[in-house]
Structure 1
Amino acid sequence: MPVLTVFYIKLLINLGLTFAIVWTVSRTALFAKWQIENEKMIFLLGFVLLRLIPWIGIFLVLNEDPRGDIPFFFYKAEAAKKGGFVYRDFWSYHAPLYAYIISLPVWIWHNSRAIVLFMVLMESGILWLTYKTYKFRTERALQLAIIYYLLPAGFMYILVDGQEEVWFWGAALLMWRFTIRKPENYEVGIGLLYALALLTIKVTFIFLLPALLLVAKKPVKMLLVMAAVGLPAIGFLYWQIGDLFLMPIQHTEQLMTPNLFSISRPFIEMIIPINEKKSTLINWFGLLFTVFIPAYMAYKARYRHINEVLPGIFIACFVCMMIFQASAMGAYVIAYLMAVLFEIVDLRKTAHVAVLLLLNWLTVVQPFIWVYIKQPAYTSLAMFANAAYLFEYVLQILNVLCFFWVLRETYRKTVRPENLVTA
């Protein structure tokens, strides 16, 4: 199917999902009733209608091939299934265990479509666990779960493209639930979970660590537990493959969009020419803000228990990554979208719902247009004489403004909850 045709179909699906979200938002009382009486049935119905049936339609009925990163994931899963050693026998920009985990569905069905279904099942498992965590906090939890299933970003990037970034929230959610169940002496548990997450997903999960240590009661204890797991793993990898295990770090050198650097670059280039082949310094500069801002929030909220602030500092960490890292791209919103919906968005406020919808539409539309117009780097204002470039640049600006909105609301919820007005 031609790329443009696929894009137009995505727009029509987005429109249908948006209307469904508006309807769902207007039915709070109905979903509150279902949350008490039929939570499992409604959640399962949402999964079947909004994930399973579309997956069957796209990949079995229409026989479409998976897009996005799935071909690369399948390459890694095949190599892992054959007994290959990660980084030495096959390329991977993920943590060492990731390729072996995504090879599990390939053992059952040797097809890249199996990985997409696996990602959908993982997403739904994380969503169910999120719902179970929030159902005791709000009568809107089931309503939020169904709204998440309807969000265009999750629908497109997980159901169609099989992205895995939602696993970040899954790891943070497990740590958060552990601190809720064990409000004292939780450092060993979350230290183990954090170390396992670093071995399972991506190295970028380390961005959360400084902020987490600031709100932990015994940070040294947590670090020692992580070291007890991580150092032997690193030692084993170095013994087997030398410094090849540093391969995931190389993936952070490519300049992407949308982020603060990509929209400010035309003005930066007026002063300092940017060499894209030597862009490491730009990412290191962005890393400072990615780590410092969530750490500052954690410091300001240190008087609160870790189980009160962990979702907030998680969101702040990964939205800061998208704002300040020049290698960040739109698909990374999947990392914290579920957390933002449950933790930050207030369905009673029209502005919150509007920004949520805008962010989702931009996340689907902007990356496609940027790739379709040959991934331009805006190095001068003169480039905006091209209407297509100007349009895509405006979409990037709107995207970054949405990220800043999320960061602001997260700061208010995490650091100054007493200022929030509740109905």
Structure 2
Amino acid sequence: MPVLTVFYTKLLINLLLTFGIIWTISKSGLFAKWQKENEKLVLGLAFVLLRLIPWIGIFLIVNEDPRGDIPFFFYKAEAAKRGGFVYRDFWSYHAPLYAYIISLPVWIWHNSRAIVLFMVLMESFILWLTYSTYKTRITNALQLAVIYYMLPAGFMYILVDGQEEVWFWGAALIIWRFTLKKPVNYEVGIGLLYALALLTIKVTFIFLLPALLVVVKKPVKMLLVMAAVGLPAVGFLYWQIGDLFLMPIQHTEQLMTPNLFSITRPFVELFFTVNEKKSTLINWIGLLFTVFVPAFMAYKARHKHINEVLPGIFIACFVCMMIFQASAMGAYLIAYLMAVLFEIIDVRKTFHVIILLAVNWLTVVQPFVWVYIKQPAYTSLGMFSNLSYLFEYCLQILNVLCFFWILRETYRKVVSEKLTTA
């Protein structure tokens, strides 16, 4: 199917999903009733209608080939299935266990479509776990779960492209649930869980660690537990493959959009030229802000229990990554989209809903437009005489403004809200 046809189809689907979201928001009373009486039936129907049937339609009936990172994922899964050693026998920009995990569905069905279905099932498991956690805390949890299934970003990037970033929230959610069940002496447990997450997903999950260490009661104890798991794993990898296990870090060098650097670059270039092949310094500056802002928020909220602030500092961490990291791209929104919906968004407020819909539409539209116009780097203001460039640049600005709004609301949630019962 031609690229433009795919894009126009995505826009039509986005429009239908948006109408569905608006209808769902208008039926708050009905969903509150269903949450008490028919939660499993409603969640099951939502999964079938908004994930399983579309997957069947796209990949079995229309017979589309998976796009995005799925071909690369399938290459890794095949290599892992053959018994290859990660980083040595095949390329991977993920944690060492990731390739072996996504190879599991390939053992059942040797097809890249199996990985997409696996990502959909993982996303739905994380959503179910999120709903189970929030349903005792808020009365509209079921409504939010159904809304999530209709959010364009999740629909497109997970169902169509098979992205895995929602696993970040899954890992943080498991850690959070542990602190809810064990509000004291939790350091050993979350140290183990965090170390396992770092071995499973991506190295970027480490961004959450500084803020987490600020809010735990015994940070040294947690670090020692992590070291007890991580150091033997790193030692084993070094023994087998030398420094090849540092391969995931190399993935952070490429400059992407949209982020604060990409929208300020035309002005930065007025003073000095940015060498895209040597952008390490830019990413290091972005990393400082990515780590410092959530850690500062955690420090301001240090009088609160970790189980009150963990979802908020998680959101802050990854929205800061998208704002400040020059290598961040729009698809990373799905890392914290579910958490934002349940933790920050109030669907009774029109402006909240507008931001939610805007950031989802922008996340679908902006990357396509940027790629379609040949991924321009805006190195001078004169480039905006090209209306296509100006349009895409405006999309980037709107995207980043939405990120800042999410960060501001998260700050209010973490720092300004009154204490609740731990």
Question: What's the TM-score bracket when you normalise by the shorter of the two chains?
Answer: over 0.9
**1:258 is aligned to 2:258:** yes
Give the Å deviation of 1:418.
3.5
**1:239 is aligned to 2:212:** no
Is the contact between residue 304 and residue 419 of structure 2 (CA under 8 Å) also seen in structure 1?
no
Is the contact between residue 120 and residue 159 of structure 1 (CA under 8 Å) also seen in structure 2?
yes
Is the contact between residue 81 and residue 100 of structure 2 (CA under 8 Å) also seen in structure 1?
yes
The CA distance in 2 between the partners of 1:126 and 1:204, in whole Å, is 19
- The two structures, once aligned, show a CA RMSD in angstroms of 0.9
Change (3 A) 1:263 1:120: same
Is the contact between residue 96 and residue 200 of structure 1 (CA under 8 Å) also seen in structure 2?
yes
Instruction: Output the amino acid matched with 1:93.
Output: Y
Paired residue for 1:345? 345
Q: TM-score, normalised on structure 1? A: 0.99
Paired residue for 1:177? 177
The CA distance in 1 between the partners of 2:347 and 2:66, in whole Å, is 34
Instruction: Output the amino acid matched with 1:215.
Output: V
Paired residue for 1:7? 7
**1:305 is aligned to 2:305:** yes
Instruction: Output the amino acid matched with 2:192.
Output: L
Instruction: Output the amino acid matched with 2:316.
Output: A
Paired residue for 2:146? 146
Paired residue for 1:44? 44
Give the Å deviation of 1:44.
0.4
Cα offsets for 1:185-243 (capped at 9, x unmatched)? 00011000000000000000000000000000010000000000000000000000000
Q: How does 1:218-237 map to 2 (within 5 A)?
A: 218-237=218-237
Paired residue for 1:131? 131
Paired residue for 1:192? 192
Instruction: Output the amino acid matched with 1:386.
Output: N
Is the contact between residue 412 and residue 419 of structure 1 (CA under 8 Å) also seen in structure 2?
no
Give the Å deviation of 1:107.
0.1
Is the contact between residue 215 and residue 302 of structure 1 (CA under 8 Å) also seen in structure 2?
yes
**1:97 is aligned to 2:115:** no
Give the Å deviation of 1:358.
0.2
Cα offsets for 1:342-372 (capped at 9, x unmatched)? 0000011100000000000000000000000
Paired residue for 1:67? 67
The CA distance in 2 between the partners of 1:367 and 1:191, in whole Å, is 36
Paired residue for 2:388? 388
Cα offsets for 1:143-171 (capped at 9, x unmatched)? 00000000000000000000000000000
The CA distance in 2 between the partners of 1:31 and 1:89, in whole Å, is 50
The CA distance in 2 between the partners of 1:358 and 1:230, in whole Å, is 40
Which consecutive unaligned segments of at least 5 residues does structure 2 have? none
- SS in structure 2 of the partner of residue 9 of structure 1: helix
Cα offsets for 1:233-254 (capped at 9, x unmatched)? 0000000000000000000000
Paired residue for 1:272? 272
Paired residue for 2:283? 283
Q: How does 1:324-363 map to 2 (within 5 A)?
A: 324-363=324-363
Paired residue for 2:111? 111
Give the Å deviation of 1:300.
0.1
Q: TM-score, normalised on structure 2? A: 0.99
Structure 1 segments, 4+ long, off by >6 Å, are none
Paired residue for 1:23? 23
The CA distance in 1 between the partners of 2:7 and 2:21, in whole Å, is 21
The CA distance in 2 between the partners of 1:105 and 1:83, in whole Å, is 15
Is the contact between residue 188 and residue 221 of structure 2 (CA under 8 Å) also seen in structure 1?
yes
The CA distance in 2 between the partners of 1:182 and 1:418, in whole Å, is 22
Instruction: Output the amino acid matched with 1:229.
Output: V
**1:373 is aligned to 2:361:** no
Instruction: Output the amino acid matched with 1:17.
Output: L
Instruction: Output the amino acid matched with 2:77.
Output: A
Is the contact between residue 297 and residue 313 of structure 2 (CA under 8 Å) also seen in structure 1?
yes
Identity, in percent, stands at 84
The CA distance in 2 between the partners of 1:58 and 1:365, in whole Å, is 20
Give the Å deviation of 1:419.
11
Instruction: Output the amino acid matched with 1:10.
Output: K
The CA distance in 1 between the partners of 2:31 and 2:220, in whole Å, is 44
Instruction: Output the amino acid matched with 1:24.
Output: T
The CA distance in 2 between the partners of 1:419 and 1:241, in whole Å, is 49
Q: How does 1:48-59 map to 2 (within 5 A)?
A: 48-59=48-59
The CA distance in 1 between the partners of 2:125 and 2:180, in whole Å, is 19
The CA distance in 1 between the partners of 2:28 and 2:220, in whole Å, is 44
